[in-house]
Chains A and B, each alone.
Chain A
Amino acid sequence: MTEPSLSQQEFIERERYHRNKVRICRIMLLVLLLALWELCASLHMIDAFIFSSPRRIGSCFIKMAADGSIFLHVGVTLWETLVSFFLVVTVGVAAAVALWASRSLSEILEPYLVMLNSLPKSALAPLLIVWLGNNMRTIIVAAVSVAVFGSILTLHTGFMQTDPDKIRLIQSLGGTKKDILLKVLIPSSVPLIISNMKVNVGLCLVGVIIGEFLSAKAGLGYLIIYASQVFTCEYPLTGKTMD
């Protein structure tokens, strides 16, 4: 490797300066907001009993960390989220590929998917408990149902927009539908799949929390419900911070 030129070094220097600036400002903004909150609480501008304060949340967290209970709740929620996320991604990609491969199938199922996607899943959660029982399976099914239909629709729409000329290219090289899938469709959809995954993590977490609200013995959602019943706002806010 030759020494990078002066202008390249300057460019890297500027870029590094910019990144540092962004990082520092981000942290400062957080500190500022927390300080403001704490200040308002201690000056009684807001009711610390209802709004809590960073200090109270901190001590509550330390207390729960000391008896280990917070880690149990976080761990349970994290595990449920990961499992449902994994299910959503595999089912989503597989179903979208199947819909792409068969025009009839996609046209038959489309109205059902749109309907299932627009259904308020949180309203379904109580039904799920009745069907599946009060256990972790219910929570995971609830989380999957929140994210999976939207995921299928988004991926399928993306798949259908694959450049037809790229498909012709594969065909002219003697490729089959499988080659189109593996060599064009999947690779060209990687950015779409990744951005869809980012959305899904969030949705799965929402789904898991909803599920835990209704049927759980542990997890952050359980913690939030428990706390709101005993009216200690530190609990749910600590839970939320952990998210």
Chain B
Amino acid sequence: MKSKLEVEHLCYSYHTLEGETKALSDISFDVRDGEFYAIVGPSGCGKSTLLSLLCGLIEPEEGKIRIDGVERRDSHAAIGYMLQRDHLFEWRTIFNNVTLGLEIQKRLDEKAKEELRAMLKTYGLSQFQESKPAQLSGGMRQRAALIRTLALKPDILLLDEPFSALDYQTRLEVCDDISTIIRTQKKTALLITHDLSEAISVADRILILSSRPARVKHVLEIHFDKEYDRPLSRRNAPEFSAYFNELWKELKTHD
């Protein structure tokens, strides 16, 4: 299958007057079209920095990012970025929150609004369209944030620990929900997570990063039988604990 996203020898440092913080050193990997790619690594190793680079919020110091074979800067591919917290705006209704991206890009017309209403309906939020975010549960807010991201029809979705603010049970459900949504829409997705079981339950491949400055330690391929296609059912598959141990061992080893 062809590569959707190629990252080559990416380096990045933060500069402050106190000194330089090297966040990424020589990161290379590629993500296939339609793949669900998880990234794990110790806290503070540079995972969020990596997503900011992919999204274009910051420019790499060295290295290249290519989308569909084209340099990121010249590519017209839409990239959706979902942050750690939902960041729904409390002063807007849910509907006006999900239209935010289209509004900024001046693409909000009747047709787009219709599509968004349908999407809200599919994901069980239609009766909350006119509610304020404070009236929604954590899981619903996260789903609204996903719709806000999907509204721009991104080719690639970047998810930065999108479930970490939720309690455990909601987290399992929302993770199941959201990854099913992403899979049915056949999007390419990169998911950052601290939770190893979460990574195994959703991903096709898992990229393991070292502690700061982040380097690629290992890429783990995940295969499950067809019957275990949903995240929740994957957790019951016999291979699950084997993958977990392997991932755990990879993260543990210091080299």
Contact = CB atoms under 8 A, between A and B. Distances in A.
A187 interface: yes
A174 B89 contact: no
Interface SS of chain A: helix, strand, loop or mixed? helix
B189 to A, nearest CB: 15
Contact of B89 (A168, A171, A175, A187): A187
Given A184-B89, A187-B89, A169 B83 contact: yes
Given A183-B104, A188-B91, A190-B91, A173 B83 contact: no
Contacts of B52: 168
B182 interface: no
Interface in A170-184: 170-175, 179, 183-184
Contact of B100 (A165, A183, A188, A190): A183
A163 B89 CA distance: 11
Most A CB within 10 A of own CB, among B55, B57, B104: B104
Contacts of A172: 55, 57, 79-81, 83
A2 to B, nearest CB: 16
B85 interface: yes
Contacts of A170: 104
B100 A187 contact: no
A165 B105 contact: no
A36 to B, nearest CB: 46
A225 B121 CA distance: 68
Given A168-B57, A187-B91, A188-B91, A173 B85 contact: no
A145 to B, nearest CB: 33
**B interface bracket (residues with beta carbon within 8 Å of A):** 10 to 19
**A interface bracket (residues with beta carbon within 8 Å of B):** 10 to 19
Given A168-B83, A184-B89, A174 B105 contact: yes
A100 B35 CA distance: 41
Most B CB within 10 A of own CB, among A163, A165, A172, A190: A172
A172 B152 CA distance: 11
A223 to B, nearest CB: 43
A47 B79 CA distance: 79
B104 A173 contact: yes
A173 B55 contact: no
B52 to A, nearest CB: 8
B152 A169 contact: no
A188 to B, nearest CB: 7
A166 interface: yes
Given A172-B57, A173-B104, A183-B100, A165 B87 contact: yes
A134 to B, nearest CB: 46
A171 B81 CA distance: 10
B190 to A, nearest CB: 14
Contact of A174 (B84, B87, B91, B104): B104
B101 interface: yes
A172 B83 CA distance: 10
Contacts of B79: 172
B65 to A, nearest CB: 15
A59 to B, nearest CB: 51
Contacts of A168: 52, 57, 81, 83
Nearest to B80: A172
Contacts of A188: 89, 91
A165 B104 CA distance: 17
Contacts of A174: 101, 104-105, 152
Question: Which 4 pairs, one residue from A and one from B, show the smallest C-beta to C-beta distance?
Answer: A172-B81, A173-B101, A175-B104, A187-B91
Given A168-B57, A188-B91, 14 more contacts: A165-B85, A165-B87, A169-B87, A171-B57, A172-B55, A172-B79, A172-B81, A172-B83, A173-B101, A173-B104, A173-B152, A183-B104, A187-B89, A188-B89
8 contacts: A165-B87, A168-B83, A173-B152, A174-B101, A174-B152, A183-B100, A187-B91, A188-B91
